[in-house]
Each structure stands twice: as C-alpha cells, then as structure tokens.
Amino acid sequence: MNEFKHFINGEFVASASGKTFENRCPVDNSLIGAVYEAGRDEVDAAVKAAKAALQGPWGKMTQAERITLLNRVADRINERSDEFLAAECRDTGKPYSIASHIDIPRGAANFKAFSETLANHPTEAFRMDTPDGEGAINLGHRSPKGVVAVISPWNLPLLLMTFKVGPALACGNTVVVKPSEETPATATLLGEVMNECGVPAGVYNVIHGLGPNSAGEFLTTHPLVNAITFTGETRTGEAIMKAAAVGLRNISMELGGKNPALVFADCDLDKAVEGTMRSAFVNCGQVCLGTERVYVERPIYEAFLARMKDAVAQLKLGRPEDPAANFGPLVSLAHRDKVKYYYDLAVQEGARVEIGGGIPDMGAELNDGAWIEPTIWTGLADDARVIREEIFGPCCHIRPFDTEEEAIALANDTEYGLAAAIWTGNSSRAVRVAEQVEAGLVWVNSWFLRDLRTAFGGAKQSGIGREGGVHGLEFYTELKNICIKL
C-alpha cells in the first residue's frame, strides 16, 4: 500500500499526529494508499520553509538560472511521464488515452511556457519633465510576491496545479501546494522531480489534507502566506476570500461555472456536434470549462439532438488502460452520489431523459467504482435547479431558441460567467455575440483551445482575477515604480 507523505523543505515527512485518510481508485473503489493529513504543525513548517527559501539560494538566482532549472523540471516530468500517467489515472480513473495527451504533457509544459513569458515581457519605463528642466526617469521593477499558497482541484490535478506553480516559481516565489484530498499522487511525485533537478529545499512544498479545520484552512489563514491562488467551487472560494481578508493577502480564484453553448443554424453541424460532445462529456464532464447548457437554433434543433444522442451512445466506458475506452468513472463515490442526485432531480423537475440518466452495470469487477451514464435531457424550464446549478458531471440539457437576442439572454441567465462556446459560420455574428456573452472565456467554433499567453479567469460568481501570460505576472509579482531624478 502506498503512503502519501507531505513534502516539506525538500523531504517527505509524515504527520506528527499520525492521522491519515484513505485514497481510493474510482475505477473499482480499491484502496490505493493512506494519505497523511496535515495539522497546524505541518502547515506551519511548510510555510516557514517556503519563507526561508526566499532568502536562500533560490532568492539569489538570476532569472535565467531559474528558467533553466524550471525547464529541467519540465523535461524530467516528460522523462517520467509513464509514472505520472499511472499515478494520475489511478487517482482520477480517466483513460490513459486522454491523460497521456493532455494532463501530463501540458502539466509539464506549464513550466516552460510561463518561464518564456516572463523572460520576454518588458517592464515599463517613462521619461518625465521636471521644473528644473533636468527631468526624471520612471522604471518598473517586478519582484516576487513571496510565499504563494496553491490550492488545486481534482479534475486535472497535475495540469491545473502546475498552471499555478509554473508562473509562481518563474517569478521567483516559493509555493505551498495543497492538492485535493481526492488526488494526492502527482503533486507528491513532483517533489521527487524537484529534488532530482536541484530545486532548492523549501521552494516547492506539498501538504495534504481536507478543507475546514484541516490543511486548507490552516494554509489560507497562515499569516506568512503572501498570496492565495485557488481553483474549485464557489462556496469554498468565498471562505478563502474571507480568510485572505485578514492581512489583506492577494487572491486569484477560478470558481464554478454553468457554461452555455450557442449553436446557430448556419454552423458546421459536424464540427458543432463533435465540439459539444467534447465540451459536455470529456473527462466525464468534470471540467470547469465544460458545457452543461446547450442552446440550438430551432431549424437544426432536432438534427443536432439526434446527432448528439447517437454520439453519446458510441462512448466507450472502461478501465483507464483500455485503449478503446474514452469515458471513465467520476472521481469518487461521493461525487457520483452528488451527480446522481441531480440526475434524479432532473426527472422530478420534468426533464425528458433522451439518453442515460442512471448508473451503468459495469460487471462484478467494476460495479463498486464511481461509474455513471453520460446523459442528455430536454424539456426543462429555464428556472429548473438542474439548469441553474453546477453539476460537474457528464450531462447537458439541450433547448431550442429562435433569435440571436434570445440566445444571448439565455446564455447570460446565470450567476456564473466562466466560459461559453459559439458555433456559427457568420463571422460578424460570432464577434457580435461573443462580445455580449458574460464570460471570461468565449470560444467560437472550438472548445478548450488554449493559448497560455492569453487571460484565463471568470466573470460574476466564476472567479476573481486573471492568470495566464502577462496577466499572471500581475498576480505573482509586485510591481514597483523606481523614480530616478536626473
């Protein structure tokens, strides 16, 4: 049985209390190992190690030296990709065919992409006049923010964790990572890579645990933490925001979503169906940017619905190592119970179940796993809870619309504003509608196409702040103005 220890100041350590919790594989509910739960002492040790590292060799490195070191980390993740892949798929149950092309290589790439952004982004400089006629020069100077608390989710554990750790370290900060209690493996394994690559002790730390009255709360309330970055659901984000208010720590949060897709009659129907299938069902619907509300212009509504049902029927459920499988289990039995609750609620609220809606029979070896059927509904009212609340499962509701104005109103009829997809062959409409949709990310005739130089974040209840590219520099650094009198 595996033991998942904390990684503090370059060493793997257990909790002084000896307290652990189970890590189980969602494929069959088998026990993967025991995870040590951090108490205040472990969190305090990790934060103090991160604070001390800022004054050690890490703090004295040049930007070029840091970038070289982080590029080495990226290369080493790729060299050990089989280990990272196995660990990620044991924790999440997702198919190897998906994780091997997305989770692991893109998780590694985050270290290189953000290092390159930092290296190539200038700071500002202004010449100004002064009363004596001699003038002055203003120079912008960026310095690390300090100790950054990274609280990462379970749906894309390595990728979304390194999306934060990569730029934080590139900017010269140190980090304390609290991965989701559901997916401790790859954050822990990355500690080995940091040591192999010569990253100084204390720069990268990992503490395991839960949220309230556990590692998450102890980390976000620690007075030596200078900034907090979080990806997860909105209620947890609100709690973190309250904690960050004490001491006025900076926060960056990407939160929940109830994302729409708008499918116009002039779209390429083949591409719209393929793209919406991905946005609704990839990673078992456990993607913050995924689509749960689909609005289709009435002339193509019936054809689109029929094509979607046919495509869902072709999804292949199976073990991660099955090369034919493209659909895995949910991350845990607890999350399966939550999603199944919404499946039952949809029927109570008057939905027509077009396909799915239940728990599949996976056979004796897998029936204890967190499996659930991919599901499509129609017929719900716009105020139904299934339409209003984030489910985070492999499901979507499809509804017709008649006018562009109606489509925009439906898309914006939500407290969330993370992402949207627009499918149309009319470029003028694409721009016009995209500008009016209230979301941080809008894709036109695509989905999940990400340039890491661009802004990432949500509007309304879907988050605060932007990361990605130069936007991440604003969060992970302090910008100082130096005025030099000539």
Active site residues: 254, 288
21 strand-pairing partners: 35
Structure tokens that stand for 124 in this block? 């500002």
Q: What is the number of residues in the chain?
A: 486
Question: Scanning the structure block, which residue is given the tokens 């645990």?
Answer: 209
Q: What does each C-alpha distance from 474 to 282, 467, 478 come to in angstroms?
A: 32, 8, 7
Question: Scanning the structure block, which residue is given the tokens 């991919």?
Answer: 374
What element of type H or E holds 393? none
Tally of CB atoms within 10 A around 76: 18
Distance CA 88, CA 190 (A): 12
Q: Of 128, 72, 87, give the one whose Cα is nearest residue 2.
A: 87
Distance CA 418, CA 295 (A): 17
SS3 of 17-42: the string is: CCCEEEEECCCCCCEEEEEECCCHHH
Structure tokens that stand for 301 in this block? 């509504």
Distance CA 429, CA 422 (A): 10
Q: What does each C-alpha distance from 75 to 70, 194, 257, 318, 326 come to in angstroms?
A: 9, 11, 33, 31, 27
3-state class (DSSP) for residue 247: coil
Distance CA 457, CA 459 (A): 7
Distance CA 185, CA 93 (A): 13
